[in-house]
């Protein structure tokens, strides 16, 4: 059994207040993630709406008056394009219904598995 630090016993009301604040922050973060996931789910490829939702939630969670999200133009162009692996791409195996994809990393012999 571990001992309770003296600082916790010295001011239990402060400890309770700290825990309540942490719980409220955690609940706010969970709600923000759920809202962003909802936007992603309904966006049908509209990345601007997704990034705006992420930025809005970041403002709220950080109590920020303003902020921005910067994406390098090359990345923004690639991210805006639909991804469809070709027939030689191993990810196509998953799309076609394979339950497992095992790709060996030729550099160090490790493997990447997806299910």
Pick the more confident residue, 107 or 68. 68
Q: Identify whether residues 18 and 57 lie together within a single domain.
A: yes
pLDDT band, residue 109 (cuts 50/70/90): low
35-81 confidence digits (pLDDT tens): 999 988 887 777 788 888 999 999 988 888 888 888 788 887 887 77
Number of domains in the chain: 2
Q: Identify whether residues 52 and 72 lie together within a single domain.
A: yes
pLDDT of residue 115 exceeding 70, the answer is no
pLDDT of residue 82 exceeding 60, the answer is yes
The model carries a pTM of: 0.50
Q: Identify whether residues 96 and 62 lie together within a single domain.
A: no
Q: Identify whether residues 75 and 25 lie together within a single domain.
A: yes
Distance CA 96, CA 88 (A): 12
Q: Identify whether residues 44 and 9 lie together within a single domain.
A: yes
Beta bridge partners of 113: 102
Q: Identify whether residues 88 and 78 lie together within a single domain.
A: no
Q: Identify whether residues 71 and 106 lie together within a single domain.
A: no
Distance CA 69, CA 61 (A): 15
Q: Identify whether residues 49 and 67 lie together within a single domain.
A: yes
Range of the domain at 89: 84-115
């Amino acid at each position: 059994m571990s001992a309770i630090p003296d600082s916790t016993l010295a001011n239990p009301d402060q400890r309770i207040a700290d825990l309540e604040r942490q719980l409220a922050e955690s609940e706010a973060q969970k709600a923000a993630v759920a809202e962003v996931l909802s936007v992603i789910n309904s966006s049908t490829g509209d990345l601007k709406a997704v990034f705006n939702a992420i930025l809005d939630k970041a403002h709220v969670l950080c109590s920020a008056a303003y902020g921005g999200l910067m994406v390098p133009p090359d990345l923004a162009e690639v991210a805006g394009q639909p991804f469809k692996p070709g027939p030689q791409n191993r990810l196509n195996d998953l799309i076609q219904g394979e339950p497992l994809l095992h790709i060996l990393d030729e550099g160090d012999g490790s493997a990447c598995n997806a299910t």
